[in-house]
Amino acid sequence: MFLDTLADHCRNQPDKIAIQFINRPPVTYGELEIAVNRTSNFLLSLGIQPGDRVAVQLPKSLPFIYFHLAAAQISAIFLPLNPDYPMAELRYFLADSSARLLFADRRKQPEIDAIASDLPTLERTLFLDPAEDWESQIADCSAERHSPMPTDPNQTAMMLYTSGTTSRPKGALITHGNLTANIASLHEAWGWRGDDMLLHALPIFHVHGLVVALHGALHAGATAILLPTFDAAMALELLLSRRFSVFMGVPTMHRRLYQLAGDQRYDLSFMRLITSGSDRLPDDLFFGYQETFKVTLLERYGMTETGMNLSNPLLGERRVGSVGPPLPGVSARIVDPASETPLPDDEVGEVQIKGAHVFKGYWGQPQKTAEAFTPDGWLRTGDMGLREPDGYYTLKGRAKDLIITGGLNVYPPEVELALMRHPAVAACAVIGCPDDEWGEQVVAAVIPRDGAVPNEAEICAFCREQLAAYKAPRRVVFVDEFPANALGKIQKAKLRETLCE
Ligand code: MLC
């Protein structure tokens, strides 16, 4: 399993640097093992049991990584939360998961204390300054491992919230077996090596930054250098330093690097692997990157519920506009969305996925879990695509009006629900409008209540109190009516035609 491989590296190469935040002291594999063991023992001393949810809402930092690995090591369920979530969302995630323990940013203490009384299952919140020295706080805890490593592949390792079209966000349960299967297939497909150096600039509360990037490097026994946040100028300077062999990003990050380069030409061809994912890679960026950086981006396709599914090859053709063939151990098929029967090559249908990497279900939602799978066990991704005769897959849109902005998923109903709470809003519809930098931007069309004169900025601010900033509309357009079909259902495609510039 993933944790066993990591333990082997800790034993076999204790002096090698495992992780290092930029401009901070490095952490060797030996030191990582000690810090994770101590943190595990600290969690055990708080009474954390296998299966308990341990929530963490902290910036990208060493303690975040220690809490993650320690929780997984003692068979607790790690629940990472975007630091950008406002209290309304945080309260929902903590209540829904019935987390027993929360690690949070000290700067948020007053706000979190104010919601804690609504959360009877949350026994304790520990506040820390992520920059402070966590190791010294757990120095009294034993550096030996006192609990058996998880051996059941079906044991949940972490829980990641994903939004849905019709419901509140659901906690996707990712097992140790899922993580192990995923990382093994990425290791094989991308040729991870012990001497790889990863420049890690992604957030670590998602599958992309946590599993694909961080686990990828740790599983290989390689070194990850982490930026706390993405800064294009710093990332470019580091990439040009020739220290790194691997870099991963979402298209918005690659777009910023490409734009920063401007007319300048750079040679990053010494890098083994630069990947793009979490949203479609636009063709102009694929070609622009090639010209500017002498690098062919490797596009791959995944989702929270599965980790990685499809990937362009490391050595073969990295095809523009395509997400490549299935990764080792992954089965994919294209089906007619209505009948769910497989379609021939080149025909567009729903992408369905099977494999040991596919999640086990949604926390406390057996109905939603059942709906996610076909009777014969294929995961319904909700993404549309086709298979080319040579096995490469191409995505052709998404079902369910999903918006992706800067690599983050936004489901319109969640934003619409927030908007409807505003007293001046009679009706609303949320859409994604194409945007060069972000892929899409969240735009709201609002019919004001009779007599109300709502103000765009105020409505955006109102949404931000309830939703993370990336979900809040960037633009609000006031309209008299919505385009609707004969049944009165809002036609979002028409709305996009009229509202997107
Ligand atoms: C930040 N903002 C966003 C946003 N990120 N708005 C829309 N969409 C986003 N993704 C807001 C900020 O709150 C800020 O608001 C304003 O935009 C400008 O901020 P910024 O400083 O320019 O943005 P920055 O912090 O640099 O963030 C941009 C980014 C970040 C691209 C680096 O969004 C990011 O790290 N994205 C990666 C997301 C990711 O890891 N996805 C993987 C999901 S897993 P204001 O108004 O307050 O200034 C998955 C599976 C898979 O999907 O296959 O990978």
Instruction: Walk along the chain (501 residues) in steps of 10 and give the mean pLDDT of each run.
Output: 93 98 96 97 97 98 97 98 95 97 97 94 94 88 91 97 80 98 98 98 98 98 98 98 97 98 98 97 98 98 97 98 98 95 97 98 96 96 96 87 92 93 95 96 96 93 94 96 84 93 80
Which of 236, 252, 256, 303 has the most ligand 1 atoms within 8 A of CB, as the residue to mutate? 252
CB-defined site of ligand 1, < 6 Å: 202-203, 206-209, 229-230, 250, 252-253, 277-278, 302-304, 405-408, 438, 469-470
CA of 45 from ligand 1 middle (Å) equals 36
Instruction: Please give the pLDDT value at position 400.
Output: 67
* Nearest Cα to Cα of residue 19 among 36, 44, 2, 4: 36
Buried b (16+ CB within 10 A) or exposed e, 57-91: bbbbbbbbbbbbbbbbbbbbbbbbbbbbbbeebbb
Instruction: Please give the pLDDT value at position 165.
Output: 66
Which protein residue has the closest C-alpha to ligand 1 atom 54? 278
Q: How far is CA 413 from CA 222, 446, 472, in A?
A: 41, 14, 12
* Cα separation, 363 vs 96, whole angstroms: 8
Instruction: Centre a 10 Å sphere on the Cβ of residue 236 and count the other Cβ atoms it contains.
Output: 19
Report the predicted TM-score, pTM, of the whole model to 2 decimal places.
0.95
Which protein residue has the closest C-alpha to ligand 1 atom 30? 406
- Relative to the CA of 303, which ligand 1 atom is closest? 50
* Cα separation, 61 vs 179, whole angstroms: 21
Helices (H), 225-277: 232-240, 251-261
Angle, CA of 411, 415 and 417, to the nearest 5°: 115
* Cα separation, 427 vs 236, whole angstroms: 45
Q: How many CA atoms lie within 13 A of 34 on its CB side?
A: 14
Which protein residue has the closest C-alpha to ligand 1 atom 7? 470
* Cα separation, 489 vs 483, whole angstroms: 8
Instruction: Please give the pLDDT value at position 147.
Output: 86
Instruction: Please give the pLDDT value at position 4.
Output: 94
Q: How far is CA 480 from CA 168, 445, 447, 483, in A?
A: 29, 10, 6, 10
Which protein residue has the closest C-alpha to ligand 1 atom 5? 470
Q: How far is CA 446 from CA 56, 419, 436, 440, 454, in A?
A: 35, 9, 24, 19, 9
